[in-house]
């Protein structure tokens, strides 16, 4: 019996080696970057490979806009090279810089989870190369590899949830805890309606 078991184990190892997924250099490069992005730090290697294979590489010249405030959002971006500025027009004609993003940072994440308008404008400060990951890509991963899709969704939900909690803390420090929590409750009510 042990000879048979050894034979089965040996054939299993041979089969795994023969049918092991061959990872190309592009995919490995993307995995190496994406695993450093805080939004995906809790993803397994398998989920990271599924994500990397679905990402789209785009290059932009200095001063190009990736999307405008108010545009319908379709997905998220991860910066590979260059710098990108997120800005908002709080008042017509008056742009306010919100963040200066660098390689390894993700932005536009909220859009992958639903039909949300962009809250800011994203413009390149230098030549930039980004990785795009869009809602249809996530849906394809969920169809082909449900566990990887669920893992990616959970990672994004955890990251966005952390941002919401931090937002309440920031508003609490600036305007008081009562106002922060009431604003959060008002937002929850508005979304539920």
pLDDT of 168 reads 87
Angle in degrees, CA 114, 137, 106, rounded to 5:
70
Residue 91, phi then psi, degrees to nearest 5: -125, 145
93 pLDDT band (50/70/90 cuts)?
confident
Is-above-0.85 flag for pTM? no
Do residues 141 and 43 touch, judged by C-beta distance below 8 A?
Answer: no
187 pLDDT band (50/70/90 cuts)?
confident
Residue 5 lies in a domain: no
- Asked which of 121-125, 167-171, 181-185 is least confident by mean pLDDT, the reply is 181-185
pLDDT of 124 reads 98
**Residue 11: burial class (beta carbons within 10 Å; 0-12, 13-18, 19+):** exposed
84: left (phi over 0), alpha (psi -120 to 50) or beta: beta
- How do residues 49-78 score in pLDDT, each as one tens digit? 999 999 999 999 999 999 999 999 999 999
Residue 151 lies in a domain: yes
pLDDT of 66 reads 97
Residue 67 lies in a domain: yes
Do residues 86 and 133 touch, judged by C-beta distance below 8 A?
Answer: no
Instruction: Give me the half-sphere count of Cα atoms (radius 13 Å) on the Cβ side of residue 26.
Output: 8
Residue 136 lies in a domain: yes
Residue 139 lies in a domain: yes
In 36-177, DSSP assigns E strands to: 56-60, 65-67, 75-81, 84-91, 94-101, 106-107, 121-124, 128-134
Do residues 79 and 69 touch, judged by C-beta distance below 8 A?
Answer: no
Residue 99 lies in a domain: yes
Domain count within the chain: 1
Residue 9 lies in a domain: no
- Give the residue numbers spanning the domain of 105: 23-186
Residue 41 lies in a domain: yes
CATH number at residue 159: 2.60.120.10
**Beta-sheet pairing, 106-107 with 56-60:** unpaired
């Amino acid at each position: 019996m042990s000879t048979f078991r050894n034979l089965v184990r040996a054939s299993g190892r041979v089969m795994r080696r023969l049918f092991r997924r061959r990872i190309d250099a592009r995919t490995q490069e993307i995995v190496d970057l994406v695993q450093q992005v805080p939004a995906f730090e809790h993803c397994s290697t398998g989920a990271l490979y599924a994500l990397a294979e679905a990402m789209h590489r785009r290059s932009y010249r200095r001063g190009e806009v990736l999307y405008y405030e108010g545009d319908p959002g379709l997905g998220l971006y991860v910066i590979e090279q260059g710098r990108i500025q997120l800005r908002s027009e709080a008042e017509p004609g008056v742009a306010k810089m919100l963040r200066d993003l660098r390689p390894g940072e993700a932005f536009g994440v909220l859009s992958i989870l639903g039909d949300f308008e962009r809250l800011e404008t994203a413009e390149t400060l230098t030549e930039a190369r980004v990785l795009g990951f869009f809602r249809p890509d996530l849906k394809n991963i969920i169809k082909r590899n449900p566990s990887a899709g669920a893992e990616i969704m959970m990672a994004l939900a955890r990251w966005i949830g952390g941002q919401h909690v931090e937002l309440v803390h920031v508003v609490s420090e600036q305007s008081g805890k009562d106002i922060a929590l009431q604003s959060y409750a008002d937002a929850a009510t508005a979304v539920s309606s």
